[in-house]
Amino acid sequence: MLSKGQGATMGTYDILLLAFDMDQRVDEAESLWNMILHVHTRSISKRLFSRMISLYDHHNIQNKITEVFSDMEELGVKPDQDTVRRVARAFQKLGQEEKQMLVLKRYQSKWKYVHFKGERVRVRIDVYNEDNARTNWNWSFWHRDMPESSPFRRDEIRHMSSLRATEPHSWPKTISNNEFYL
């Protein structure tokens, strides 16, 4: 692609890495990645880091995922949520649960957006819990904080409060200024 006169931009590198991933040419992707790292050290985007981490994740190369993530941290690039999950899973597969928890605690978002009754609502998630050392949902319920203009009826709230934490797909139970807490 570069030999055909295409400019060497970050978008071009992204497309090349995606093509190498689809063709299962990990060695060529790795050599391109090393060239990108050496030539454009301080200007590598979050998207390129995410692309390389997803490439290594697709081919189950966990130790390379951690190397790319350490380069990402060293350059001060904050990962997106998909990258955080991939890196945490790589640390888990490598047997480094303490590093997995550190990554989740440091980088995983405390908010998530879900669609409920046709509306997009913000949901607070409890990312890190030292008791069970994994991502945990906070299932507390405070109906007193529910505004009168809430899209929920009182009987729906009572039903939601009766749901148990063992039901992973149950709806949020705390409502405060259109923010829901899981």
Domain boundaries, the chain: 2-107, 111-181
Confidence at residue 167, expressed as pLDDT on a 0 to 100 scale: 45
Structure tokens at 20: 């190498």
For β-strands 179-181 and 174-176, DSSP reports them as antiparallel
pLDDT in tens, 3-30: 565 667 888 999 999 999 999 999 999 9
pLDDT in tens, 22-69: 999 999 999 999 999 999 878 899 999 999 999 999 999 999 999 999
HSE (side-chain half, CA atoms, 13 Å) at 53: 27
Task: Report DSSP state, residue 133.
Answer: T
What number does CATH give the domain 2-107? 1.25.40.10
Q: What residues contact residue 104 under an 8 Å CB cut-off, 6+ apart?
A: 84, 88, 127, 128, 135
